[in-house]
Amino acid sequence: MQMEFTYSYIFDLAYHALAHMQVNNPSNLYSEEYIAMINEAKGGQFEDITEPMSQLAEYYNANFERLYMVNFLPFGCQNMDALKYMVEQHPYFTTEDKESFLIPFLELLQKEALFYEAYWKGMYDRSEQAREHLTAYLTKEWEKYKVLGSYFQKSRAIAGISYSITCNGRGLGHYDAFLAVVPFAEKEKAYKNTFLQLLHEYTHQFTDGMLQQNINMEDSSHAFSEYVVLLFDYYLIKTLCPEDLEEYLYFLSPEAESGGPIMTEEILLSVFELPAQWHERLQQLVKDICSLSI
């Protein structure tokens, strides 16, 4: 199963803008640290887009069940014209969505591109060696888990690597590929977390289907879907690659780097509560998948 890597100025431009807008759910990318870094890079020569993005936040939050698609549509777009076409043609959006959020959002992206295009190209050029190292590492790690592709009949695993996504990642459905966007990791010590985030996003693409319901941020369905994917990855790693288990538990410990507590297996199973039949389903699925690697 082939692993492919893609870097894109267009999807990074979208995540760059979204980092300037507060969203009232776990998809939030808002980062004051990122904004400060960007404004320093602008050196007073370009507008801070925090205020114009904040003006769009109320409508975005109120209509998130449709507008969340702006997190995904830029993937695969080669330029702004392609992105505008995707937005215009997408069936999720209403006329009001376009007038109240999408048109001003696209106009803001077009204006911000005067700064960001050159900024992004500079990052891409400077990171050539780091990109090569990250590619080699992720490719090697995926070899241990490629049985997932065989089981789910995926021919490719596509990793979008983003310089501007500030938190977590994004997983996208694709008929013959696992497809996800995760943050770029410049330092080797962050490579493992990057791979585990990638695995998490890939896993969502089949565990979400097991729920057989619409998943949204307004009720418990999104939290439940997260519990399912986190526990599936736990059972998968423990069975297929137990040498990765300690680092997976560290990955689930957001305060560990600052000296906070590190997740244990006992805590994981008590915090992410699922009915017993779900544990049985996940363990049976792991057993079926891993049988292909024997």
Res 220: pLDDT: 59
Q: What is the dihedral of CA 149, 150, 151, 154, to 10 degrees?
A: 50
Mean pLDDT on 24-33? 94
Mean pLDDT on 107-133? 97
Question: What are the structural domain ranges in the chain?
Answer: 10-126
pLDDT band at 174 (very low <50, low <70, confident <90, very high): confident
Res 225: pLDDT: 87
* 181-206: pLDDT as tens digits: 999 999 999 999 999 999 999 999 89
